[in-house]
Homo-oligomer: A and B are copies of this chain.
Amino acid sequence: MRQVSNGADLGRLVGYQLKRVQAALRSAMDAALRPHDLTTPQYACLELLDQRPGLSNAELARGAFVTRQSMNVLLRNLEDAGLVERPASAPQGRALPTTLTAEGRARLVAARGDVLEIEQRMTAHLDAEQADLLLGHLERMTDALDPRPRDSPTLT
């Protein structure tokens, strides 16, 4: 035997390459957002709010893949910075609907260009068909891992 029956080459695992891309992407986004005084989770939160105004803390947390507690402190920071607004009391239930302020929208628009440029650079070698295929594969991979139906703040 030439190999001690090692597992498959790590680089051949989709999981490893996923982690690798995501690390590079996160690093690139942090660098691009720093001049805008935003972190990557903060930017994600602003994007979610722009797309679906009035999302609650818990819904934002699920959309950004963090816990409610993490999103709560993140929202407090954004609130202190004047980028988002929350009513003092819940209009119904306990959920506090969050919305972007004018400044929040402005900061988002300013940062979005730089972030989209990274997305473009990352997927530059893919044509439209390949990109669609890739997106489909990624979604199906998530569904295969996470049996939950997802109330999907990302969907229409």
Chain A contacts to B: CB under 8 angstroms = 6-25, 27-29, 47-48, 50-51, 65, 112, 115-116, 118-119, 121-126, 130-131, 134-135, 137-142, 144-146, 154-155
Asked whether A125 and B138 contact (CB < 8 A) given A15-B118, A65-B20, A65-B23, the answer is no
Partner of A137 from B6, B12, B51, B134 at Cβ < 8 Å: B134
State how many angstroms separate the Cβ of A70 from the closest Cβ of chain B: 13
A11 near B155: Cβ-Cβ < 8 Å? yes
- Chain B residues contacting A134 (CB-CB under 8 Å) are 14, 134, 137
From the candidates B13, B14, B21, B139, name the one contacting A141 in the complex (CB within 8 A).
B21
